Structure 1
Amino acid sequence: MAGNSDPLTPRAKIAVTAGKAVAAASRAAGRGSGSVIGGRVALKLDPDLLARLAQNLDVVLVSATNGKTTTTRLIAEALRAAGPVVSNALGANMPAGITSALAGSSDARYGVIEVDEKYLAGVARDTDPKCIALLNLSRDQLDRAAETRMLAENWREGLAGSKAVIVANADDPLVVWAASSSPNVIWVAAGQMWKDDAWSCPSCGGVMQRPGDDWFCGECGFRRPTPSWALSGDHVLDPHGSAWPIHLQLPGRANKANAASSAAVAAVFGVPPQVALERMYQVQAVAGRYDVVQFMERDLRLLLAKNPAGWLETFSLIDPPPTPVILSVNARGADGTDTSWLWDVDYTRLTGHPICVIGDRKLDLAVRLEVADQHFQVCENLDQAVQMSPPGRIEVIANYTAFQDLRRRVGN
């Protein structure tokens, strides 16, 4: 985008400086990265700061229930082929955290920004994005997030008439409904493993028909659009029908889907699929997710799963039985305090794995596993659970704050 080299007013500069000072003080006090509190202070001093910071950037926004942190990272790697990138790589994805991230770089050409689903429309208004990637919508944080159809409606209204190129998953009816109000959409066949939030038509409420990989509403005719990009096994198919191999160190089908969407986004900025996909190989772990760490003479693989769709995808990539599995669930503010979603997860997929259960809500999880007829043991903490497992690999699956607790304990 054209623009003068220094878009910041004196007030904005003071706001950025104050925000950085507060963030540094927060870090020094051992209270995390400080990006959120720093961003809050900066926005208090200059409410228009996010828009000012974004005005010299070509911005990509990434939003979804699952996979947005990873996809943001993959897109950022791909776009570095075309110029310097600033990104909220640590996942602080509300306006304060986004403002902090953008304030940290003055020479970037691209801004690759993960956005919490509830804030997408507002952040899109402020940052005037060139591209918006919409991956999926499913139930999450039942006490905080509006039901998925309301979120889709918010997206649809917020993005209506947007100048941005929308890169959207053609396999998720809620995402298609949200994106369909935009004049310029690139559809990606990225797949949808979890279908339990998309049985009724978001357009009319009718029952969705799902023959094979297709879907349509038998009552109003709302249907799956024809994709121009597609995930096909270990390849991405581009709009010309060429197949490009996916090179990832990240495991699982869900990350291949994230790579397919990321390649479509990169192409909007002129980065060819081959270059984009090769660059994505650099990503080994994302904010600790998928890391393998040595702890008490075992190899722990740390896996984040925050909601039913995420748990389903995670079960598909763990090593086969009898690999031990440790499950950890909390229900603190950042997780959502309602654990009834545990009943939506198919835990019979863990049959044959020795299971240990830890976390604040280990007893809720134990009841759920008992009903699913799984063999498990309730443990007091990670150390006890690891001691009960044989040497070798252990898969550790945790929801959001439980995952942070685990990373602190293993020094990751």
Structure 2
Amino acid sequence: MAGNSDPLTPRAKLAVTAGKAVAAASRAAGRGSGSVIGGRVALKLDPDLLRRLAQNLDVTLVSATNGKTTTTRLIAEALRAAGPVVSNALGANMPAGITSALAGGSDARYGVIEVDEKYLAGVARDTEPKCIALLNLSRDQLDRAAETRMLAENWREGLAGSKAVIVANCDDPLVVWAASSSPNVIWVAAGQMWKDDAWSCPSCGGVMQRPGDDWFCGECGFRRPTPSWALSGDHVLDPHGSAWPIHLQLPGRANKANAASSAAVAAVFGVPPQVALERMYQVQAVAGRYDVVQFEGRDLRLLLAKNPAGWLETFSLIDPPPTPVILSVNARSADGTDTSWLWDVDYTRLSGHPICVIGDRRLDLAVRLEVANQQFQVCENLDQAVQLCPPGRIEVIANYTAFQDLRRRVGN
């Protein structure tokens, strides 16, 4: 439980001060928030700093392929009903960025931390979380993250015997397998739109049977656990069977699923669903995602989609045709340099939309759209693409670094 005693040694205080100074210098030089470089410097000076910063906090970790940043924001808003919160709200989700975020929250009672899937086990070891939310696992950054079952195994081994309450999506077989090594799991039926990474049993390799919303392995008997929380339309069902309305400013089914998981996490800390869900309404945009910005006389809605599962969810929430769509794809190191995932996305869902294609890998995307029989134009940059669209709303969908480029260009 959080207390008021100062856990920081003189060395740790020096590391925090130095990290903040470096971060400030990085910001002044126009190189971003500085949180990652500041955290790296601080951890060099005190390798134990993350553990020290976390020991006076009730920590929640959030990990997933999609929805980490948004869910982290929703949980942080909900827990503010119970006390001050520190969070890595801008999405710097590896140990250096996490350390930097926690160093800025000296009066906090709760830490709500988004963690990159690859680093979850290590960060859980250092922060001794009270709660861990596991939302989904699907293919992403294939050159860096390896395949999904290896990540699930890494989670399963890293979380085995964890004292944390695990809040896990029972509709994702990989997440269920990863969480099943933990003694204390709360299952949430949050849904799973993208199923192509879970057709074989993670436990034995057998073929998954998927009748309706259920799933099970016909060979070893591994099956979907019974949820105690569930997303049902526009409501969250709690363990007592009460239905609580979800009112979000964020669009789409995926964000309702994030809200359901967030309500289950908030309840672990004694925040009732009604209070948690009301507070989530405050969240309008998350690090620029879902923002509508005025640019060149048009209304651009900025949408982030980094992998096949994310693109599928994003296509489900764009305005109907003939709303124009601009697609931007890069393949820099932060995105993963392997663009083969483009072939797993069903671009026929964009039929009827005028499409413009930009980004470093616009020609890769153009070939994919050609095969999907879509009408599109390849453009040099955002300005040219916007000029080709009529006044009014434009849906702009981009992967990670392409999204950052867009935000800089539109001054968001």
When the two structures are superposed, what TM-score results if normalisation uses the length of structure 1? 1.00
Structure 2 runs not aligned, ≥5 long: none
Deviations 1:232-257 (A, max 9, x none): 00000000000000010000000000
Deviations 1:171-228 (A, max 9, x none): 0000000000000000000000000000000000000000000000000000000000
- 1:192-271 aligned at under 5 Å gives the runs 192-271=192-271
Mapped to 1, the partners of 2:202 and 2:359 lie a distance apart of 36
Mapped to 2, the partners of 1:172 and 1:42 lie a distance apart of 37
Deviations 1:323-348 (A, max 9, x none): 00000000001000010100000000
Q: What is the deviation of 1:165?
A: 0.1
Mapped to 1, the partners of 2:319 and 2:158 lie a distance apart of 41
Matched, 1:358 2:358: yes
Q: What is the deviation of 1:304?
A: 0.2
Deviations 1:118-148 (A, max 9, x none): 0000000000000000000000001111210
Deviations 1:346-389 (A, max 9, x none): 00000000000000000000000000000000001000000000
Q: What is the deviation of 1:105?
A: 1.2
Mapped to 2, the partners of 1:68 and 1:401 lie a distance apart of 17
Give yes or no for contact 2:168–2:175 (8 Å, CA) kept in 1.
yes
Mapped to 1, the partners of 2:127 and 2:382 lie a distance apart of 42
Mapped to 1, the partners of 2:298 and 2:51 lie a distance apart of 47
Q: What is the deviation of 1:3?
A: 4.4
Deviations 1:20-39 (A, max 9, x none): 00000100111000000000
Deviations 1:71-116 (A, max 9, x none): 0000000000000000000000000000000000110000000000
Q: What is the match of residue 393 of structure 1?
A: 393
Over 4 Å off, 4+ runs: none
Mapped to 1, the partners of 2:331 and 2:128 lie a distance apart of 35
Give yes or no for contact 2:307–2:341 (8 Å, CA) kept in 1.
yes
Mapped to 2, the partners of 1:167 and 1:340 lie a distance apart of 32
Mapped to 2, the partners of 1:256 and 1:105 lie a distance apart of 28
Mapped to 2, the partners of 1:83 and 1:322 lie a distance apart of 46
SS in 2 for 1:343: helix
Q: What is the deviation of 1:2?
A: 5.0
Deviations 1:282-330 (A, max 9, x none): 0000000000000000000000000000000000000000000000000
Q: What is the match of residue 165 of structure 2?
A: 165
SS in 2 for 1:144: helix
Mapped to 2, the partners of 1:222 and 1:280 lie a distance apart of 35
Give yes or no for contact 2:2–2:57 (8 Å, CA) kept in 1.
no
Give yes or no for contact 2:2–2:109 (8 Å, CA) kept in 1.
no
Mapped to 1, the partners of 2:250 and 2:322 lie a distance apart of 22
Mapped to 2, the partners of 1:229 and 1:3 lie a distance apart of 31
Q: What is the deviation of 1:265?
A: 0.1
Q: 1:321 to 1:25 in 2, by over 3 A?
A: same
Identity %: 96
Q: What is the match of residue 29 of structure 1?
A: 29
SS in 1 for 2:138: coil
Structure 1 runs not aligned, ≥5 long: none
Give yes or no for contact 2:2–2:58 (8 Å, CA) kept in 1.
no
Mapped to 1, the partners of 2:4 and 2:141 lie a distance apart of 42
Deviations 1:141-166 (A, max 9, x none): 01111210000000000000000000
Q: What is the deviation of 1:47?
A: 0.4
- 1:24-173 aligned at under 5 Å gives the runs 24-173=24-173
Give yes or no for contact 2:199–2:207 (8 Å, CA) kept in 1.
yes
Mapped to 2, the partners of 1:183 and 1:142 lie a distance apart of 31
Mapped to 2, the partners of 1:389 and 1:11 lie a distance apart of 57
SS in 2 for 1:319: coil
Mapped to 2, the partners of 1:362 and 1:28 lie a distance apart of 33
Q: What is the deviation of 1:400?
A: 0.3
**Number of matched residues?**
412
SS in 2 for 1:143: helix
Mapped to 2, the partners of 1:147 and 1:364 lie a distance apart of 22
Mapped to 1, the partners of 2:4 and 2:282 lie a distance apart of 33
SS in 1 for 2:15: helix
Mapped to 2, the partners of 1:300 and 1:30 lie a distance apart of 25
RMSD value over aligned CA atoms? Answer: 0.5
Q: What is the deviation of 1:4?
A: 5.0
Mapped to 1, the partners of 2:323 and 2:2 lie a distance apart of 55
SS in 1 for 2:5: coil
SS in 2 for 1:249: coil
Mapped to 1, the partners of 2:367 and 2:259 lie a distance apart of 37
Mapped to 2, the partners of 1:167 and 1:306 lie a distance apart of 24
Mapped to 1, the partners of 2:120 and 2:337 lie a distance apart of 23
Mapped to 1, the partners of 2:3 and 2:256 lie a distance apart of 36
SS in 1 for 2:11: helix
